[in-house]
Amino acid sequence: MPRDGLTAPNCYDAEPIPEAARAEIERLLSSGDLFRYTSENAPVSQLEAEFAAFMGVRYAVCVASCSAALFLSLKALDLPRGARVLVPAFTFAAVPSAIVHADCEPVLVEVGENFRIDLEDFRAKFDDTIAAVMISHMRGHTSDMDAIMELANARGVPVIEDAAHSLGTLWHGQKIGTIGKIGCFSFQSYKLVNAGEGGVLVTDDPELAARAIIMSGAYEHNWKKHPGLQNSFHHWQNKLPLYNTRMQNLSAAVIRPQLAEVPRRVRDGLANHDYVAAKLNESPWLDVPPPLGPETRAPDSLQFNLVGDWSDAEALRLQDEAKARGVGVQVFGLSQDNARAYWNWQFLGDLPDLPKTRAMLMRACDTRLPARLTRAELDFIADAIVTAAAAVKG
């Protein structure tokens, strides 16, 4: 809808893939060399070296998706069948699914109004039966990693970070995804780096890396194309299942030139977010929770709460009013079958009652805010949301 001469910004299109990817893709198409283990130093291997250097970790293992990385992380930890894994109840359905896929049992933990794990519930549920912790930093909101690591380390329980939305986020200056034993990232299209699909797990632990590499599908002696780790590979040869969830060379060719874009996307994404957040916070009806003290965020979307007394009907009207103004806003808990609303995860069987998470999801709003937006487009989005709230609450 035209508004002040500006058309509603398209928040769904990704940025173009950098020009530098084209020659490499053409080379791969001409040679047909798409499988990561055919040639020496294939694009996937190069990406692993570059991503490990980028994150400052010893090992990076590229796979088909972040879900595959989460699944392999649990498998690499060699958890017994039925092991109980703490996971925040505000995440994407693929995360508890990865836990189920790994023959483990997700234990859902409450998430508060600030979109981060509720530490009281986390502590209460962290009993002797918990074998691992999987922290989804959902929409890039970092949970209190100091408190989580302190408790997990005291109990000797490994932490996996689901950093699908957190590439570039810092905690006390340390990169998210490098704090727990394993960090997992997504290259699916709605993430900071876009390959359509793809994922990577990072770790400093050689045994975990070797096990994940073999199980990702480094069959026979393909592990020789991964530098180092030879003793571990010899040890695990033929002892682990092959889940064959590798990345292919075309994905790596699309991802590699985007790594150089990450600092710019992080910088602009954060500036965009904070600019719109400040405008929303001027409304008496809207609230964007602040980051935690040690956190430097890298957002490419914006979440805000409806504050005051909103009925479901009013919250739904906000969605409509924003849409009429050209901006897509989704109340997580009010759209049918939303994959981020835990009560829709019926594949888990009996679902727990999680009143805090439910209350948050019923009034928490989600809107996309890609790093490429201009100031005028950000003004358009902020105005649309603020005036939509005013139109509903008058």
Please check whether residue 184 is in contact with residue 332, taking contact to mean a CB–CB distance below 8 angstroms.
Answer: no
Q: Is 92 in the site for ligand PLP (CB under 6 A)?
A: yes
Q: Is 95 in the site for ligand PLP (CB under 6 A)?
A: yes
Q: Applying CB under 6 A, which part among 110-118, 161-169, 296-304, 367-375 lies near ligand PLP?
A: 161-169
Binding-site residue total for ligand PLP (CB under 6 A)? 15
Taking the complex as a whole, the smallest distance from the CB of residue 138 to ligand PLP amounts, in Å, to: 5
Find the binder of ligand PLP among 11, 47, 60, 66 (CB under 6 A).
66
For tokens 């003004």, the residue is 379
Taking the complex as a whole, the smallest distance from the CB of residue 358 to ligand PLP amounts, in Å, to: 18
Please check whether residue 91 is in contact with residue 348, taking contact to mean a CB–CB distance below 8 angstroms.
Answer: no
Residues 247, 218, 162: CA angle, nearest 5 degrees = 50
Q: Is 89 in the site for ligand PLP (CB under 6 A)?
A: no
Closer residue to ligand PLP (CB): 193 or 382:
193
Find the binder of ligand PLP among 63, 164, 167, 288 (CB under 6 A).
164
Of residues 295, 100, 77, the one with CA closest to residue 203: 77
Q: How far is residue 256 from each of residues 31, 85, 279, measured CA to CA in Å?
A: 19, 33, 36
Exposed/middle/buried for residue 42 (C-beta within 10 Å: 0-12, 13-18, 19+)? buried
Please check whether residue 270 is in contact with residue 297, taking contact to mean a CB–CB distance below 8 angstroms.
Answer: yes
Distance of alpha carbon 218 from alpha carbon 242, whole angstroms: 8
Find the binder of ligand PLP among 45, 73, 169, 186 (CB under 6 A).
186
Distance of alpha carbon 204 from alpha carbon 98, whole angstroms: 22
Please check whether residue 205 is in contact with residue 181, taking contact to mean a CB–CB distance below 8 angstroms.
Answer: yes
Closer residue to ligand PLP (CB): 341 or 388:
341
Binding mask 111-140 for ligand PLP (x = CB under 6 A): -------------------------x-x--
Q: Is 67 in the site for ligand PLP (CB under 6 A)?
A: yes
Q: Is 215 in the site for ligand PLP (CB under 6 A)?
A: no
Distance of alpha carbon 134 from alpha carbon 73, whole angstroms: 10
Q: What is the DSSP string of 127-167?
A: -TTEEEEEEE-GGG----HHHHHHHHHHHT--EEEE-TT-T
Q: Is 169 in the site for ligand PLP (CB under 6 A)?
A: no
Closer residue to ligand PLP (CB): 326 or 370:
370
Q: Applying CB under 6 A, which part among 71-79, 86-94, 126-134, 289-297 lies near ligand PLP?
A: 86-94
Q: Is 63 in the site for ligand PLP (CB under 6 A)?
A: no
Taking the complex as a whole, the smallest distance from the CB of residue 69 to ligand PLP amounts, in Å, to: 8
Amino acid type, 357: T
Closer residue to ligand PLP (CB): 139 or 226:
139
Determine which one of 125, 175, 191, 356 is catalytic. Answer: 191
What are 117's strand-pairing partners? 111
Please check whether residue 142 is in contact with residue 292, taking contact to mean a CB–CB distance below 8 angstroms.
Answer: yes
Q: Is 283 in the site for ligand PLP (CB under 6 A)?
A: no
Q: Is 94 in the site for ligand PLP (CB under 6 A)?
A: yes
Find the binder of ligand PLP among 43, 88, 140, 199 (CB under 6 A).
199
Distance of alpha carbon 134 from alpha carbon 197, whole angstroms: 21
Q: Is 65 in the site for ligand PLP (CB under 6 A)?
A: yes
Q: Which of residues 332-361 bind ligand PLP (CB under 6 A)?
A: none
Q: Is 319 in the site for ligand PLP (CB under 6 A)?
A: no
Closer residue to ligand PLP (CB): 151 or 163:
163
Please check whether residue 35 is in contact with residue 248, taking contact to mean a CB–CB distance below 8 angstroms.
Answer: yes
191 annotated active-site: yes
Pairing mode of beta strands 170-171, 174-175: antiparallel
Q: How far is residue 4 from each of residues 11, 137, 181, 377, 391, measured CA to CA in Å?
A: 18, 37, 50, 11, 19
- Catalytic residues, by residue number, are 191
Residues in contact with ligand PLP by CB under 6 A are 65-67, 91-92, 94-95, 136, 138, 162, 164-165, 186, 188, 199
